[in-house]
Chains A and B, each alone.
Chain A
Amino acid sequence: MTPRDLLPILAFAALAALVPILVTAGTTLNFAIFTLILCLAAQGWNILGGYGGQYSFGHAAFFGTGAYAAALLQLKLGISPYGAFATGIAAAATVGFVIGFLSFRSGLRGSYFALVTLAFAEVFRVLANAVEFTGGAAGLLIPIDVRPANFQFASRASFYLVALGLVVVALVMTRALERARLGAQLVAVRENEQAARALGVDVLRVKLSAITLSAGITGAAGALYAQYFLYIDSNIAYGSWISVEALLAPIIGGAGTLFGPIVGAVLLHSLAEFTKSLVGRIPGVDLVIFGVLLILVVRFPPRDLPGLIRRRLGR
């Protein structure tokens, strides 16, 4: 990885850091923070799905594990929120490794892998809803105690910058992956698994590395969600909404590209907010839009939006 590889990420970070200076309205910042959390979740999905071609429909399993682990460790064990956050990432990565081991070792691919991940996420959701330890259907409430040492900030701008920092870390990790042997082998597995094996790629090891990394990043998004909204329940943490968000953003923005998930997440959420304000508060109208978009994207795959724009502008 050369400094030049990091330039676009730095440019993005600098631009995005301007947002809290230009915008002070609480709802707008709230929206921006939520979008950043989704960017992070989508960036996680992008590593496994975009670069590795293993389409997971159950990234909620990792998002939720990150969220629940971060919340539970603070509430039940009194661990510092930062420690709980880090452990949440590790817990999500572990769940990713285990799900990966079980499904990839049995050779599950394509829609079979997608279905298995979906099933895992649903099992986690039902369990979290039923077990008393996780607060059951009532969910978990992290008590408000606004101190930076407690990972709670008085100003939304501070939290925005923390979320942005995490997104930038995920971007740098993705860029590093692109430039590393693992990244090349991961893309090779996506393009042609058989050919990759013939060229000495240990397909199982590559897929397991990818799902572990992917789950860790999406788990970070979950832990961040818990820390920002200070409340989770099973339908938020393990709900299929986040699985859909995590996969839709990269697919629309450009799966397997560095900024695809971010372009997609920002686009989707601006659109969702716009339609909400247009048609009023009909619950679920944004989901209808997402559904229509998903159908359109599957029917007319755009490859990636930045690439499309570049082609339109004429190289």
Chain B
Amino acid sequence: MSFLEVDKVSKRFGGLLAVSDASFTVAEGSITGLIGPNGAGKTTLFAIVSGFEPPTSGQVRWRGQPITGRPPHVLAGAGIARTFQIVQPFAGLSVRENIAVGAFLRHRRRADALEVAEQVAARVGLSAELDKPAAALTVAGRKRVELAKALATAPQLLLLDEVLAGLNPSEVRDIVPVVRAIRDSGVTVLMIEHVMQAVMNLCEAVHVLAQGRIIASGTPAEVVAAPAVIEAYLGHGAAARLARHA
């Protein structure tokens, strides 16, 4: 029984097959990467796993139980939290209140939720910004708020949709240990990421999605060497040309 199992999932938007027969698993306690060229269907796949979109066909199983098509708030309650690629702050609220919304999922009392929010803020390095309005933060700060909100729901599986996109190299270096610490605290992480330096650094397993299909799975070192992956990124015949020049 897998921790999370995506089984032959397809998603069709009208004439566009965004995800085609995608199957992969995520092991408990791992940091698993989902990479692929733009438009490969990664975010759609995330939306399906987190309940925001129902798949056209196929199934998602969570600890052996089918969870396909359950609404997001039910899945959040079950322990699956997600972040959004385009950050979705509660713009009019302070950082503390933003994080507390997540904490309210497991804590009925306001005092408890606010306390959890402070603890989570410390984990992602936001302690100094707690009382600022979320809208006043930098991109890096907003990405951390996005992470903190999801983390405050006390998830078992955290789906990170490009938390590093738009950050400069030093900001990426700062946040990589945060993600690792989250995993070390017992939260399994599935991350969509374009920043390969971080993927190579963080992930134990990587699945590569191209044109809606999973074209390779394995360790980061394995997949970047796989001809299918090179061709997906660089075009048909690229793998052979690279091999000739090497």
Contact A200 B77 (CB under 8 A): yes
Mark A252-293 against chain B: 1 for CB-CB distance below 8 A, else 0.
Answer: 000000000000000000000000000000000000000000
Among residues of A, the one whose C-beta sits closest to the C-beta of B88 is A195
Is residue A126 contacting chain B, with contact meaning CB distance below 8 A? Answer: no
Interface check A105, CB cutoff 8 A: no
A187 touches B90 (CB 8 A): yes
**List of B residues within 8 angstroms of A190 by Cβ:** 92
Cβ-based interface call for B149 (8 A) = yes
CA distance A192 to B90 in the complex (A): 6
Expressed in whole angstroms, the Cα–Cα distance for A4 and B144 within the complex equals 33
A-facing residues in B47-93 (Cβ within 8 Å): 50, 52, 71-73, 76-77, 81-84, 88-93
0/1 per residue, B164-194, Cβ < 8 Å to A?
A: 0000000000000000000000000000000
Instruction: Check if B100 is an interface residue, CB within 8 A of chain A.
Output: yes
Contact of A197 among B71, B104, B149 (CB under 8 A): B71
Interface class of chain B by DSSP: loop
Taking a contact as CB atoms closer than 8 A, the residue among B72, B84, B93, B104 that contacts A191 in the complex is B93
Interface positions, chain B 85-110, Cβ under 8 Å from A, are 88-93, 97, 100-102, 104-105, 108-110
**B10 adjacent to chain A (CB < 8 Å):** no
**A188 touching B90 in the complex, CB below 8 Å, given contacts A181-B104, A199-B81, A200-B73:** yes
The answer for the CA separation of A203 and B71 in the assembled complex, in Å, is 11
Q: Does B43 contact A (CB under 8 A)?
A: no
- Tell whether A181 pairs with B149 under 8 Å between CB atoms, given A192-B88, A196-B101, A198-B76: no
A residues 197-211 in Cβ contact with B at 8 Å: 197-203
B110 touches A199 (CB 8 A): no
Query: How does the 8 Å CB contact mask read for B97-131 relative to A, with 1 for contact and 0 for none?
Result: 10011101100111001000000000000000000
- What per-residue 1/0 map shows which CB atoms of B18-52 lie under 8 Å from chain A? 00000000000000000000000000000000101
Asked if residues A192 and B104 are in contact (CB atoms below 8 Å), the reply is no
The answer to whether A192 and B89 touch (CB under 8 A), given A198-B84, A199-B81, A199-B153, is yes
**B89 interface neighbour in A180, A187, A195, Cβ under 8 Å:** A195
Does B199 lie at the interface of the complex (its beta carbon under 8 Å from any beta carbon of A)? no
In the complex, whether A179 has a CB less than 8 A from a CB of chain B is yes
**Cβ-neighbour of B73 out of A180, A192, A201 (below 8 A):** A201
Q: How many residues of A contact B (CB 8 A)?
A: 20
Secondary structure of the A contact surface, majority rule: helix
Interface check B150, CB cutoff 8 A: yes
Q: Is A65 an interface residue (CB 8 A)?
A: no
Q: Which residue of A lies closest to B114 (CB)?
A: A184
CB–CB A200/B84 < 8 A:
no
Q: How far is A180 from B72 in the complex, measured between Cα atoms in Å?
A: 22
- Chain B's closest residue to A195 (CB) is B88
Q: Contact mask A125-169 → B, CB, 8 Å, 1/0?
A: 000000000000000000000000000000000000000000000
Q: How far is the CA of A179 from the CA of B109 in the complex (A)?
A: 9
Q: Which residues of A contact B104 (CB under 8 A)?
A: 181, 184-185
Which chain A residue shows the least CB distance to B155? Answer: A200
Residue A111 lies at the interface, judged by CB distance under 8 Å to chain B: no
Residues of B close to A198: CB separation below 8 A: 50, 52, 72, 76, 81-84, 88, 150
- Tell me the complex Cα distance, A197–B50, Å: 10
Which B residues are in CB contact (< 8 Å) with A197? Answer: 52, 71-73, 76
Least CB distance, B69 to chain A, in whole angstroms: 14
Name the A residues within 8 Å of B100 (CB-CB). 184
CB distance from A243 to the nearest CB of B (A): 25
Given contacts A184-B110, A198-B81, A201-B101, contact A191 B91 (CB under 8 A): yes
Task: Tell me the nearest residue of chain B to A202, going by C-beta.
Answer: B73
Q: Could you list 25 examples of A-B contacts with CB < 8 Å?
A: A180-B110, A181-B113, A184-B101, A184-B110, A185-B101, A185-B104, A187-B90, A188-B101, A191-B91, A191-B92, A192-B91, A194-B88, A195-B101, A195-B149, A198-B72, A198-B81, A198-B88, A199-B76, A199-B105, A199-B150, A199-B152, A200-B77, A200-B102, A201-B101, A203-B73
3 tightest A-B contacts by CB? A200-B76, A191-B90, A195-B88
* 4 other A-B residue contacts (CB within 8 Å) besides A184-B97, A184-B110, A198-B84: A184-B113, A195-B84, A198-B72, A200-B102
Q: Which residues of A contact B (CB under 8 A)?
A: 179-181, 184-185, 187-188, 190-192, 194-203
